[in-house]
Structures are given as structure tokens and as C-alpha cells.
Amino acid sequence: MPFQLYTVNHLTHAISQVARAADLVQTHTSEWRDTPGVHSLVSLVTCNRVEIYVSAEPQIRLVPLDGTDLNWNYLEGREVAEHLFRVASGLDSMVVGEAEIAGQVRRAFTAALDQGTIKGLMIKMFEGALATSRRVATHTELTGLGRSVVSVALDLAARDLPLTVHEVPPANPAATHTSPLDVVDENPTGVPSWQGLKALLVGTGAYAGTAVAQLRARGVRDIANIQTSRRVVSFAQIHRTRVVEPEDTVAALQEADLVLACRGLGSPVLSADQVAAATPNRRRPLVILDLALHADVDPRVHQLSGVKMWNLEDIRAHVPALAISQIQRANELIEEGLADYDAAVAARHMDPVIVRLRALFEAAACEEIAALPPGETVAREDAERAIWHVVKKLAHTPTVSAHMAAESGLGSQWVDALATVWGLTPEVLEDAFSG
């Protein structure tokens, strides 16, 4: 069954177009799954890509490829597997090597399995892509070199945050002698500390969990979460964050140094009026990172004084480049994974032949069983006779084809083919025939 892929992603589209594509997926997924001729469907929606993986009859097209201003990218056949393997391994991400994408692919795959919307070779394709992503993470430094979108955003935010600097002690604090050749650093380097910052979070999904983990890793201990749904309470218990009631949003904004929004389920959560009411007379700007696909922060906040705001489009221009050697090694591992997948595809193409062969064997056995004498027990000679009849029937067609091959001068090819089917070496067969 031919594979199809419809995708709108950051490489070829604006983030606003990705958001509109995500709306279409949410609206039409049930309709697409019920389309006659569609056998498998997996939807992958992240902050910077929307992808629909489909196994369907060749004539089916779920999404118009032209006539709309979205202009979905379309792939089919093996190119779909190549794309998925690169995506799962982090080579097609906004930040190459990001760690989150493998988890997002895995969740999309698991959801399709739970819903029963993925079958056959598409399961093999996703399993192969995820296995390859693990190999890339293990055998390259790609994940370490490539930082997530959240990490890049926090690095940008650090420029405007009130971070304290902890000086790094010298390698040998006891040393007092200074050589004339020593160079004195008038600006000793230090480690910026995020420990005293207050962060305000919007969102409770996997993206929000990643944001909390990144903030904790940098030393932030005071993290509050605006209650936008009932899930906030359970999220706060799991991630040890404080819950802020909606009516206390302005007060929470006044106290916060950093706002990280990654909910993106509809209209903005933070209005321009709320942010304006919270930012007069601030000594340092309120830093806001809106990482949601659908903006969580009113875009007018960009124009407010006392605010430094970054959204996904802003962050995309600051993603880091990676070492070429690591990308090359990742590509090699992807090619190895695709080779294994190709072998699985080739094996599955033999299924109809194997099914037919088994059916012939079963039919021969059933015919002899039906001819056995009635009763609960069968005499040994009757059982032997039935078994030999089955053997003769199964051997009849290969025997005739062997004679025909020999008469046509194709005897050696027939021997090679039989050796492949039955797992015997040509030498063994030749010895048997010569005896």
C-alpha cells in the first residue's frame, strides 16, 4: 500500500502557516481516518511542524496540494520513510539535534497504535525510525550539540534577565607567585546563576514539562503556573510548581522575571492589558518567551515598554549550527536504519506467495485427513498411507518442474532455487542427486 506524507513545517513555511495546518488536522483527522481506502494514518503536530503519514490506495489524496495558500509539501513511497527517519533523529528540526522530537514522534505513534489507526508496514516504518533515533543519540554527539527550542529561547532570554555571576575560582587558589609571563585577566569569567529568578509558566503539556526541566537545570526554583485548566493542579503536583489563579495573573506578572508560554490551544492567555498593568516602573524588562504554535501572548505585547518578548519566529533566527562530522555520522546511521527497513519491506512483499504456498500444503493435508477411516483412532498403516500421499502430492509439482528445467538446460538454476527455498546448499543437493 503506497505511503503518503503531507507536511507543513518550519523549513518551508511560516510558523503562522504551521498553526493553521494544525487546526486543519484537529478538525479533519476523524474524517480522514474514515475515508474509504485509507488503511493507516498518523498525525504528528509539534511547535514547528504538522505531518500526516498515510497508507492509502494510490488514487486517494486527503489534503489539497494546490488551490490553497498553505501549499502542503507532499512525499510518497520510500521518500516518506527517509523523511520520518530524519525527523525522528533530529536532523530536520528547527534546532538540529533537539532531543524532544523523538519523544513527540513516539507519542504520535503510540496514539495511533492505541486508536488502531496504524497497521502493517507503517508500524515497521515508525519502529525503525525510533530505533534509528536512539542509535543517533547513542553513537553521535548530536543531541549534546543540538539544543532544544526551549534551551535556545532561554539562552536568548538570559541577555535581559537579572542573573547574578558566581566567579570561578582559579585552578590553584594557593598559588601566590606570579610570573612576568602570566597574563592577568581584568574581567574574570563567571558562571551566571538563575537561582534567584521567578518564572511564570503557561501550559501543562509535554512542552511545559520540558520547560520546567530546563529551568530547574539552570537553577530556577520559584516556578508558578497560571491555572488555564484543571490539569494545572496535577501538573503542579508532579513538577513542584505553584498554581496561580486567573484573577491573580497581573500580580504574578509583577513578581515574575520570566514568562514562558507554551500552551497554544486557542486564543491568547495573556492580554496586552494584563501585561501593561504589570510592567510600569520595572527596573528590568519582563522577559516573555511565547513558544506556542498558537500564540499564548497577545502580539501587541511586543510594542509595550518594559517588556522583552520572543516568539517562535524570533527564535528560529538564532538556532545554532552543528559540527558537520556529527551530522555526517547521523546520516550514516539513518542510511543503515533505512537499509533494515527496506529489508523488512522486501520480506513483506513475499507474504502473498508464502500464504499461497501454505494454503497448498494445508489443502493437501486436509484432503488426506478427510479420506481417513471414520472413528476416534486410526490404524498405523492408514496414517502412514495418508502421510505418504501428502508427501507425494507436495513433491509432484517440484518433480515435474525439475524435469522441465533439466530438459531446458536450466537444471543448475533449478538446484540453486531449491537450495534457497529449503535452506540447503547446492553441494548437498548435488551429492544427493549424484547418489
Residue 207 labelled as part of a binding site: yes
Residue 174 labelled as part of a binding site: no
- C-alpha triplet 261, 262, 268: angle, nearest 5°: 65
CB under 8 A, 24+ apart: contacts of 178-182 = none
Q: Report how far Cα 145 is from the mean position of its chain's Cα atoms.
A: 19
Residue 48 labelled as part of a binding site: yes
Residue 204 labelled as part of a binding site: yes
Residue 14 labelled as part of a binding site: no
Residues for the chain: how many in total?
A: 435
Residue 99 labelled as part of a binding site: yes
Residue ranges of the alpha helices (H) in 245-323? 249-255, 272-278, 312-316
Q: How far apart are CA 176 and CA 189, in angstroms?
A: 20
Residue 317 labelled as part of a binding site: no
Residue 208 labelled as part of a binding site: yes
Element (H, E) at 407: helix 380-407
Cβ-in-10-Å burial (0-12, 13-18, 19+) of 151 comes to buried
Q: How far apart are CA 40 and CA 63, in angstroms?
A: 15
Active site residues: 47
* Nearest CA among 338, 327, 332, 335 for reference residue 81: 338
Q: How far apart are CA 85 and CA 53, in angstroms?
A: 13
Residue 366 labelled as part of a binding site: no
Residue 46 labelled as part of a binding site: yes
Residue 203 labelled as part of a binding site: yes
Residue ranges of the alpha helices (H) in 221-294? 231-239, 249-255, 272-278
Residue 47 labelled as part of a binding site: yes
SS (H, E, C) 87-137: HHCCCCCCCCCCCHHHHHHHHHHHHHHHHCCCCHHHHHHHHHHHHHHHHHH
Q: How far apart are CA 406 and CA 413, in angstroms?
A: 9
Number of other CB atoms surrounding residue 189 within 10 Å: 8
Task: Quickly count helices (H) and strands (E) in the chain.
Answer: 16, 12
Residue 262 labelled as part of a binding site: no
Binding-site residue numbers for NADP(+) are 203-208
Give the residue numbers of the binding site for substrate: 46-49, 93, 98-100, 104
Per the annotation, binding residues are: 46-49, 93, 98-100, 104, 203-208
